[in-house]
Structure 1
């Protein structure tokens, strides 16, 4: 049996709008309203998971999901950059940001490297039982990027070439070490699939 995994990115939050490394800020009112409006288009799944972040948990709740939190789906641990805007960090640590954006093994912030995130998320993907059926997971954009990089066996450097918009669904089908990808649908486009 093939695993059908739908990865849903969270709705907008103040941190996302400010391009700020997540600091557990809640969804903004517009993001919450959009997630609630998309609830009817969310396809029921045999199992549901969520990143442990507040915005992912709130998105899942607004979509009507009852997900199991998974530490394996946590966003990248950003160390001392957590809660700061990218612009502020770049102004203070220009070389460190350049290293982070170009070297998947770099973790100048003292947290996780993007490679470590990809390995963690990839291990989670590859341990999904073949008989799982349809699974939905509300996950941070960096987790979805990591899942796509892993699923396609792409180079870690492709991480930054994947754009994950708020409240969109990314679909992976297959099983460990053999995944297919369908990307970019809004939740309204996933109804009935």
Structure 2
């Protein structure tokens, strides 16, 4: 049997709109309205896993999903950069940001490196049961899953866009995944 994972990226919130690292903020009114408008467009006929971030939990609830928090889908740990805007960090620590963007093993913020994030998400994928899985997860987790599924270098992470309220589907099994990305929820 195979696994079919459908990742749903959360609706937009203030952090995403302001290009800030995850800050625990809930959805804003626009994001909540868009998620509520998409309710009924997602079938949850298997395992449902939701990132513990507020945006993901609230998106899942607005979509009408029963929320089961999956700690393995926690957002990317940005250490001391948590809640800060990328522009703000780049102005204060330009070398650190450059190193972070160039080296997947770098974690100048004191949090999780890109390599560690990709490994964590790969481990989560590997441990999934056969059958359908619906996961509401932050865009960076979806990007890390795509990197793992395609077997591409971690640097490819920076070249993948995951818009709000879209579905990215992986089917197969660890070692051989097929990818379908960017299906909007309507």
TM-score normalised over the length of structure 2: 0.98
The corresponding residue for 1:166 is 164
Structure 2: unaligned runs, 5 residues or longer: none
Aligned residue pairs total 186
Q: Which residue of 1 aligns with 2:78?
A: 78
Q: Which runs of 5+ in 1 are unaligned?
A: 189-193
Bigger drift between 158-167 and 65-74 goes to 65-74
How far apart are residue 28 of structure 1 and its match? 0.8
Alignment partners' CA distance in 2, 1:50 and 1:24: 15
CA distance in 2, matches of 1:45, 1:143: 22
69-78 vs 143-152, greater mean Cα deviation: 69-78
Range with bigger deviation, 118-127 or 41-50: 41-50
Question: 2:133: which partner in 1?
Answer: 135
1:67 to partner: Cα distance:
3.0
In structure 2, C-alpha distance between the alignment counterparts of 1:114 and 1:75, rounded to whole Å: 12
Give the superposition deviation at 1:22. 1.1
Render the CA deviation track for 1:26-83: whole Å, top value 9, x for unaligned: 1010100000110111122211001110000000111111132112111110000001
Distance in 2 of aligned mates of 1:67 and 1:158: 31
| Secondary structure class of the residue paired with 1:68 | coil
The residue number in structure 2 matching 1:115 is 115
| Residues 1:181 and 2:179 are matched in the alignment | yes
| 1:1-193 matches, cutoff 5 A | 1-129=1-129, 131=130, 133-188=131-186
Q: Are 1:15 and 1:25, in contact at CA under 8 Å, matched by a contact in 2?
A: yes
Q: Which consecutive segments of 4 or more residues in structure 1 shift more than 4 A? A: none
CA distance in 1, matches of 2:45, 2:35: 17
Q: Distance in 1 between matches of 2:92 and 2:80?
A: 12
* CA deviation string 1:1-43 (max 9, x = no partner): 2211100001011111000111100101010000011011112
How far the C-alpha of 1:181 sits from its partner, in A, is 0.3
Structure 1: distance between partners of 2:51 and 2:34: 19
**Local SS of the residue matching 2:43:** coil
The root-mean-square deviation of aligned C-alpha atoms, in Å, is 0.8
User: 3-state DSSP class of the match of 1:41?
Assistant: coil
CA distance in 2 between partners of 1:15 and 1:89 (Å): 14
